[in-house]
Structure 1
């Protein structure tokens, strides 16, 4: 198992463990996006094109979800304060 795979799994586990301490949604999605992008890099080095494409699509979706969650949180805080 490569170092990139181990790093991706460690980051994904960190994101899931963050749920126990009420990690904000935008951080959760951002950590999972980072893990999927590291997995895509590892798959690219291994020559697995389908996995690269799927993990890049997943990373892009999670990045968008993270951006949306950050924007929604900021918007909610501006409307309250």
Structure 2
């Protein structure tokens, strides 16, 4: 198991542990984004094929969008009286 694979597993495990300890969802999605990017990096370094890299980048983009959405809605909730 390469170092990038271990880092991806650690980031995903931290996200799951944080989910059960009531971590804000923007952090949860951020950690899953990091894990997905690390999986894509590992796939590119190992030469597993363009499909794995593309799939992990698309997944990371979706998770980053979810994190950004949560950041924006949290900001709106704080401004609303």
Q: TM-score range by the shorter chain?
A: over 0.9
1:1-16 paired onto structure 2 within 5 Å = 1-16=1-16
Unpaired segments ≥5 residues, structure 2: none
Q: CA deviation at 1:24?
A: 0.4
CA distance in 2, matches of 1:64, 1:17: 21
Unpaired segments ≥5 residues, structure 1: none
Match of 1:46 in 2: 46
Match of 1:68 in 2: 69
Q: Which runs of 4+ in 1 moved over 4 A?
A: none
RMSD, matched Cα? 0.7
CA distance in 2, matches of 1:10, 1:47: 22
CA distance in 1, matches of 2:45, 2:19: 31
CA distance in 1, matches of 2:75, 2:23: 16
Q: CA deviation at 1:20?
A: 1.5
Match of 2:28 in 1: 28
Q: CA deviation at 1:21?
A: 1.2
